Structure 1
């Protein structure tokens, strides 16, 4: 199981930015902590053109969650952290730069040979699926700067893990998109819980994902729940961690009842179970 990674960066006001190096695998979360030293008015980071939000915790530390996408290519990349200070009623700025080495995760691969009519969509279905993908992109790209979640994330349903994050299938010699979430098999009607506090940004009934819920937890963190038989919340509604938001089903393009649970952090798809193991 992928675990988040804790990295503490000690900041002293107005010292030169120093370089640090860290290594993480595709799908992991890196926790960056910066002690609140001096009159900091704003702090934000950027990694691979993705914004990294920071928040102040109860220990007077600024904390940022850096997600390594399951498709990020192995290599070394910088994370730049820009800090603004209010000094004598004037604003001053400092940039810290850290190096993050992304390593390849050994994701599971399955090979299948099936009749083409089983995997090729009709023009009508293709048009529908493309429109739905754009709808999802537009929603997920609208990131809230308000933190709604608390430190304890919950697994949304009890069941058997039937689909592994990052795995992908090669069908008739053609690789398909990697699995961007975790599948948890459970009987139809099993309660599905919100993994944390958040706002319902979108409910859907899509071609591939079936009935689904998109929860915005703030600071670029979204969780998704697909293939539901019932949706028990409405768009715009605020929910609490552990609240029942839907029921397991087999809607959409599936072979049996299960929950597809996915998490997107600052534009990166990460292993959902990493959230349940965050160590602050």
Structure 2
């Protein structure tokens, strides 16, 4: 075989392999979709797998198990990237179990882009910046309590349709802000603040079970709702709590009244979204169209 014929054969083989890879990649893209398509640090993600004949779908992303549930001919999961999560390529592993026992690998690479947040400065009581020994004991007990709540999420989706804002008040763009308390960098702000005057009614953003309803050191009077499969919403700084732990709520149910308890500079509502330890942008969750997968 001449050198030119060998070169043409090699090119044909390479083209065939490239074409096969492109077709497989395109097939995976058409079966698996993420919304929003641009994945950023702090972004909640609606993951939809179009595999109507699958008996089950399993997933894993960023070291966390992704729980899928079936809605008509789609398998659906709500997941996300922590606000402090690493950027760059990541692998979303998805496996669909088909009849015959042969799993279908639908894994794909997801590029996580940086989200740009600002720095804010606040002044609070010194005990919330440098707590003493007694306060540290309370903070440790709070952390242990919250860990128990987050470890016992209901093993099915409890939410139905779109999430709604918990109050009728203007939100701020405070999610992800690097917060300086009394001149010291204390934390990344992992929720959305609403300018809710004292006594504003706070309502459930979606269906779920009240996992916690009591005062905490930093959060003040706090309500945590378990929406199932590791997804929670947290509402903080209430002046009054009107629900109890273990209570089932639906979207619009009254949780209590906004206030200024805990580490605050004034009356407002802090509302946070957490999935499997990752804190997600509440504003983006509110913009997700979930009504189609009730």
**Structure 1 length normalisation: TM-score?**
0.84
- Provide the C-alpha distance between the structure 1 equivalents of 2:124 and 2:224, rounded to a whole number of angstroms: 32
Contact 1:48 1:77 in 2 (8 A): yes
> Could you tell me how far 1:95 is from its partner in structure 2?
2.7
Q: 1:173 to 1:185 in 2, by over 3 A?
A: closer
> Could you tell me how far 1:82 is from its partner in structure 2?
2.3
1:96-107 superposed matches below 5 A: 96-107=106-117
Q: Can you give the 5+ residue segments of structure 1 that lack an aligned partner in the other structure? A: 1-7, 13-21
Name the structure 2 match of 1:167: 177
Whether 2:67 is the aligned partner of 1:67: answer no
Name the structure 1 match of 2:67: 53
Q: 1:190 to 1:75 in 2, by over 3 A?
A: same
- Provide the C-alpha distance between the structure 2 equivalents of 1:37 and 1:222, rounded to a whole number of angstroms: 28
Contact 2:232 2:274 in 1 (8 A): yes
- Provide the C-alpha distance between the structure 1 equivalents of 2:82 and 2:155, rounded to a whole number of angstroms: 20
Name the structure 2 match of 1:92: 102
Q: 1:116 to 1:222 in 2, by over 3 A?
A: closer
Name the structure 2 match of 1:33: 48
Computed over aligned residues only, the root mean square deviation of the Cα atoms, in angstroms, reads: 2.4
Instruction: Tell me: higher relative CO, structure 1 or 2? Use CA pairs within 8 A at least 6 residues apart.
Output: 1
Whether 2:235 is the aligned partner of 1:233: answer no
* Count of residue pairs the alignment pairs up: 259
Name the structure 2 match of 1:82: 95
**Which residue of 155, 158, 162 maps to 1:145?**
155
**Which residue of 111, 116, 134 maps to 1:124?**
134
Q: 1:93 to 1:176 in 2, by over 3 A?
A: same
- Provide the C-alpha distance between the structure 2 equivalents of 1:86 and 1:42, rounded to a whole number of angstroms: 10
**The residue matched to 2:142 in structure 1 has which SS?**
helix
Q: 1:75 to 1:181 in 2, by over 3 A?
A: same
Contact 1:224 1:263 in 2 (8 A): yes
**Structure 2 length normalisation: TM-score?**
0.81
- Provide the C-alpha distance between the structure 1 equivalents of 2:183 and 2:263, rounded to a whole number of angstroms: 21
After superposition, give the CA deviation of every residue in 1:8-51 in whole Å (9 maximum; x if it has no partner): 94349xxxxxxxxx64111112222111332x222121111112
> Could you tell me how far 1:215 is from its partner in structure 2?
0.4
After superposition, give the CA deviation of every residue in 1:166-204 in whole Å (9 maximum; x if it has no partner): 102245774321011011121211110100011111112
Q: 1:194 to 1:115 in 2, by over 3 A?
A: closer
- Provide the C-alpha distance between the structure 2 equivalents of 1:175 and 1:104, rounded to a whole number of angstroms: 20
Runs of 4+ in 1 over 4 A off after TM superposition: 111-118, 171-174
Structure richer in strand, relative to its length: 1
Structure richer in helix, relative to its length: 2
- Provide the C-alpha distance between the structure 2 equivalents of 1:129 and 1:41, rounded to a whole number of angstroms: 45
- Provide the C-alpha distance between the structure 2 equivalents of 1:194 and 1:47, rounded to a whole number of angstroms: 28
